[in-house]
Amino acid sequence: MIARSSSIKLRLVCALMALQFGLAAPALSEDEDLPSWDILENKIVYGVPNSDIIGFVAICGPREKQVKAIIAVKPSSEDIKSGQKLVLQAGKSRIETTFTPDDVDGETVIFSTELKPLLALLRSEGTITAKIGKSTTSLPPLGQSRALATRKFESGCAR
């Protein structure tokens, strides 16, 4: 689990990323209003460029085995109280992790996981489904977009 101070740092990083997206040049075509996979320094991001709409962010440090992440899935208060787990799955790849009420911020959940299983999940073909109780969200591969971003993310984490 993410410690409280790490949680605050992660929220600040994600807020800064949202500003980076939002302060970029205005969208020039309708395609730019669609979500995409991208890399910003040591972060892999799924969201709408030039906006603060972010569905997933994972952050790694150099040669670290743990990754901190945020995903846009809103658990119900019942799911939070009952200790439901966050499950991310695509094909045969699956990550199951716990979270605390402090890890829930509105419609996002902050979590920590090992790098290798996350990379396997990101490399999987098909859509990644995130689920907490009855709440779900999907992260599609968008052609080769996720695969290319994953390779760059892995390379950045290895440094």
What is the domain count for the chain? 1
CA distance 18 to 10: 12
Q: What is the pLDDT of residue 11?
A: 54
Low-confidence ranges of the chain (pLDDT < 50): 1-5, 12, 16, 18-29
- Domain that includes residue 147, residue range: 4-158
Strand duo 36-40 + 43-47: pairing: antiparallel
Q: What is the pLDDT of residue 136?
A: 94
Q: What is the pLDDT of residue 138?
A: 95
Q: What is the pLDDT of residue 95?
A: 96
Under DSSP, is residue 25 helix (H, G, I), strand (E, B) or coil?
A: coil
